[in-house]
Structure 1
Amino acid sequence: MLRTAGVAASATTLFGPSALSGPAPAAAVPRRSPVLPDPGSITATDPALLSALEAVSLLRSRALHPRELLDACLRRSAEHDGEINSWVHVYPETAHAQAEAAATRLAAGNAPLLCGLPVGVKDLYALEGLPLTADSRILEHNIASGDATVCRKLRDNGAILMGHARLDEFALLTATPQVGNPWNIADTVGGSSGGSAAVLAARFAPLALGTDTGGSVRLPASRCGISSIKPTYGRCSTYGIIPVMWTRDHPAPMGRSLADAALLLSFMAGPDGHDPATTAAPPPAPLYPLAPRPALKPLAGKVFGVVAVDMPAELGRLFGEYLALITELGGELRDVRLPAEPEVLATGGARELGSYHRQWLDRLTELRPSSLPVVGMGLAALAAPFTEYQAFERAREQYQRDYNRLFAEHGLDAVVLPGAARDGTPRATAAAMSLLDADLVPVAWANYTGAPAIALPAGRSAVTGMPFGVQLGGLPWAEADLLDIGLALEAAAPYWREEPPLRPSPRVLPAVAPQPPGPGPDPTNTETWNSVYRFFPTTATATG
């Protein structure tokens, strides 16, 4: 039974990188040991309200059983998901089996840090023998033929894959209008990973998987008051994930806190022979930082490039206060402009989108009306000469070098910009937002460069009461450095602890038992052919 639970974070228990299963990559630089909350300091009475790191502390001290944590998450979902509608399917049979296996590993005393934690999974990731629908009627009866590499990694390390969360259909839009925001059911959760963000904000699971093709985890994080990490392109495998645009798609961890998301990233990252971009990447950290470095001025010597965005006065106030926090912690601010995005970047991405969706040519009427223009744009792009796609490749590489040069010329450690430009948006209004407008805030810069970006909550509007967040971006492969910055800001401004006041809204959860796998050969049981071309981020600044 749960004896202690809660939200305090006094840190006494230490676990080194050996807590992760398997040896660290030979070339990896070891990170400092994670600091977990003291089990005796945790005071919440409902396990579903625990952060991921708090749950880790209680699981490892044997004060909490994985099944108890899972049941609390399922119970809270059943009590409150009626209006929110965050789950496409839940998998209690497989999840309970995973919880019992996790308990056995924890009892043996050598379990990975992730062991026993429930994870919500965006409905693009394949789980063998379970539905995979991309939240679309087109895939209503589709059953995955295998596991996405990321999901296999998580399960192998003891995670409990609790269910599939909703998204904008095929991840084409940025609103997820079928999901209510836990802070205001009538408001948008953002997208396309809006269901995953809602699962976290509503405390239905401590961790969630999203994907980011055009701000798809950063926008929902800002809308829902949670945190996310878009890693460097190639840091995490895309194998077994339904694609949107294969050179812009990023598997992405999401958590209530940045520290929680960093824990999830530690078990997602690494090479995969099915995804060439990951095999060429430098080794990931064996464990990404989970706590800030102790310092009076933790951002001293750090330079932040501030990107101006038009937004309402109240959001401008919140953003200004966050910039003031950066300077209070020792950081220096410099006004910068992101590189201009050549038009060919959008047309190249459209061709990739069309390459996947051409398999549904005889079923386009089954798409939602809001999805049709985006898919139509992608299919039309297939008629363009392949030389235009080659021009996209060249422009993409040049844009990435221009971004690196921005850092070099201004001496930057990170860029900082808002995570939203609207102070609350009704779900009906947001329904038509696509990857083409992305909520009027710059987001594609991180997908075109492949550089890492994090999203953090930065307070709530005094006008609407809705959360507001910021984006921070770094140089390729520098996730650990960017996380150090973000964790310092999170410690100074722990807005992630704020909990939406949910009202009872019961729902019979859409529970599904495992079934025979689809025929494949791709784990998604769809045709995910794409070009042999893979974008590879570098830190180069040279032109040409």
Structure 2
Amino acid sequence: MGTALSRPRSDGERVRMSTLGVVSARGERAGASGSVAATDPALLSAVEAANLLQTRKLHPRELLDACLSRSAELDGDVSAWVRIYPELAYAQADRAAQRLSAAEVARHGAAPLVCGLPIALKDLFAVEGLPLTASSRVLEGNIAAGNATVVQRLSEAGMVLMGHAHTHEFAIGSCTPQVGNPWDTTASVGGSSGGSAAVVAARFAPLATGTDTGGSIRLPASVCGVSAIKPTYGLCSSYGVIPGIWSRDHVGSIGHSIADAALLLGFMAGFDPQDPVTATAPALPEGGYPLVARGGRNPLAGKRFGLPNGVGEALPGALAAVFEGFIGLVRELGGEIVAVEMPPLPEGMLPGDYIEAGAYHRQFSDRAADYEPMSAAMMGGAIAMLAAPVSEYWDFQRSRAEYQRAYNRMLADNRLDCVLLPGTKLDGVKRPENVVGDVEWANYSGAPALCIPAGRSAETGIPFGVQLGGRPWDEAGLIAMALELQEAQPIWREMAPLSGAPRQIPEVSLGTPGAGPDPTNTDAAPAAFRIIATTATDRI
């Protein structure tokens, strides 16, 4: 099928995609072994598509064509996209094709593995000269003044920006009511990164960015059947991203498989002088994060998985069965399950969170009528909380610091490699209800957490995921374990049964950047005080 990069394949030409895996910087092969049958490039995982792009068997324009066509044909009931940017995307695809050409590779070496891959951005990430609205009427007409650091990095790596995906307004809730779940469009996608998860689940784009302030990446990943990584706090810069709650906003990645999400994360992470918290992160693993399982009979031998007491008992029967099956898979692969007690969440959470949210939203106090009713009530309360004594905020942050250490002690005392928790608590939540789960532990500890598909409910057919949480800065270890689980049980390959529902998605071209100075064109500068992730275990 060796299509030359100088000639995209015609619309009518069909091809069987055969992938043997991408050679990573480690010399490993990433992706599924053997071949993957696909007549539509949009159905490929990011790692599979990267292989074909790198070997010049797939043209970036061809991949973009497929993703845009599928979006136009099927986004009517899903409504995952806020806006798309075809003019910009095709220009970026052409630049990617040039970098991937044999002549450029011979001259400058291989292009980054993400070069030519389309991506969706949550509608919180600034792109200079393009709208940035946080899916809210409050920011109608707002144009970003610059690029978020993560966007700049991905652009420099050659990725193709397709568009912005919906978020629950200002990332406030956990439903994203504008968006239908690709598995059942009457069901909730969770939030607040619901549009990003839906874009990936519907195969509109192979990758998406998200943010996680209280489960906002993991909850949508669970109910949409995709894989996601909420990294350690400070691994990825939040500069140029509209904030929710500064001290627990985590920027993360979403893909079909954990290898996809890990591939993207490796190009998002790193030090940013505009976000000093990133200086606390260690260097990224040499060669990037693992993208391939070791395999074998007992690949999880010697690994200890903490199972918090009572977490499975609260699940509906159909989800409990899937969760028990996942635990059985861990054991089957050689992992040891250890009963543990999670530490209680910090005291004073609500005042602490409200104070940080109010500090950002007070700039919109004259636009209260433009918020959705639930958001208006929450933001009104958050702004009012700014009048609370400063001691309440400091007491909360001290309690949070102790919680971080208590979480680390739990891991250390039980010699755990990770903890396992359900991705969600409820089955088949309908729009516009919120999807809920035990998720705050990872945001208050700042520790990394993944969510990977474990199966689907026998009652509703909605996917259900499992969270893996680890030690701060141990993304590589978590990813390696998740790779083994997905190698043994590749549930992520299941596809949502979307039917034809066309949509004329709003298209926007680059325009004049906003005045700034912040890339978001709002007052988004964080406070000088920021909590940092720690591996400490001593009490304070």
TM-score (norm 2): 0.94
Query: What's 2:345 paired with?
Result: 341
1:496 has 2:496 as partner? no
Query: What's 2:232 paired with?
Result: 232
Which 10-residue stretch deviates more, 414-423 or 306-315?
306-315
Contact 2:19 2:51 in 1 (8 A): no
Shift of 1:530: 2.7
Query: What's 1:302 paired with?
Result: 303
State the alpha-carbon separation in 1 of the partners of residues 497 and 436 from structure 2: 28
Query: What's 1:451 paired with?
Result: 447
SS at match of 1:184: coil
SS at match of 2:170: helix
Match of 1:64 among 35, 58, 64: 58
Query: What's 2:370 paired with?
Result: 366
Alignment-mate amino acid for residue 176 of structure 2: T
The correspondence of residues 317-466 of structure 1 with structure 2, limited to 5 A, is 317-428=321-432, 430=433, 433=434, 439-466=435-462
**How many aligned positions are there?**
519
Which 10-residue stretch deviates more, 344-353 or 243-252?
344-353
The correspondence of residues 116-195 of structure 1 with structure 2, limited to 5 A, is 116-195=116-195
Query: What's 2:99 paired with?
Result: 105
Overall identity of the aligned pairs, in %: 55
State the alpha-carbon separation in 2 of the partners of residues 489 and 374 from structure 1: 39
SS at match of 1:370: helix
Query: What's 2:523 paired with?
Result: 527
Alignment-mate amino acid for residue 106 of structure 1: L
Q: Deviations over 1:378-411 (max 9, x none)?
A: 1122111112211122111110000000001111
Query: What's 1:480 paired with?
Result: 476
State the alpha-carbon separation in 2 of the partners of residues 297 and 139 from structure 1: 52
Q: Deviations over 1:455-510 (max 9, x none)?
A: 00010111111111110100000000010111111111111100011110011121
Query: What's 2:503 paired with?
Result: 507
Please, which runs of 5 or more residues in structure 1 have no aligned partner? 17-30, 434-438
State the alpha-carbon separation in 1 of the partners of residues 496 and 468 from structure 2: 24
State the alpha-carbon separation in 1 of the partners of residues 467 and 113 from structure 2: 27
Contact 1:32 1:289 in 2 (8 A): no
State the alpha-carbon separation in 2 of the partners of residues 68 and 189 from structure 1: 29
Contact 2:227 2:254 in 1 (8 A): yes
Contact 1:228 1:455 in 2 (8 A): yes
Alignment-mate amino acid for residue 120 of structure 2: G
Alignment-mate amino acid for residue 342 of structure 1: P
Q: Deviations over 1:234-269 (max 9, x none)?
A: 000000000000010011100011100000001000
State the alpha-carbon separation in 1 of the partners of residues 515 and 461 from structure 2: 48
Shift of 1:295: 3.0
Shift of 1:43: 2.4
State the alpha-carbon separation in 2 of the partners of residues 279 and 99 from structure 1: 32
State the alpha-carbon separation in 2 of the partners of residues 95 and 426 from structure 1: 34
Query: What's 1:28 paired with?
Result: none
In structure 2, do the counterparts of structure 1 residues 143 and 260 end up closer, same or farther at CA, with 3 Å as the change threshold?
Answer: same
Please, which runs of 5 or more residues in structure 2 have no aligned partner? 1-8
State the alpha-carbon separation in 1 of the partners of residues 342 and 439 from structure 2: 11
In structure 2, do the counterparts of structure 1 residues 417 and 9 end up closer, same or farther at CA, with 3 Å as the change threshold?
Answer: farther
Q: Deviations over 1:18-62 (max 9, x none)?
A: xxxxxxxxxxxxx56443557x83321101101101101111111
In structure 2, do the counterparts of structure 1 residues 449 and 475 end up closer, same or farther at CA, with 3 Å as the change threshold?
Answer: same
In structure 2, do the counterparts of structure 1 residues 471 and 352 end up closer, same or farther at CA, with 3 Å as the change threshold?
Answer: same
TM-score (norm 1): 0.93
In structure 2, do the counterparts of structure 1 residues 34 and 250 end up closer, same or farther at CA, with 3 Å as the change threshold?
Answer: farther
Q: CA RMSD in A?
A: 1.4
Query: What's 1:436 paired with?
Result: none
Shift of 1:15: 3.5
1:35 has 2:33 as partner? no
Query: What's 2:77 paired with?
Result: 83
State the alpha-carbon separation in 2 of the partners of residues 63 and 482 from structure 1: 32
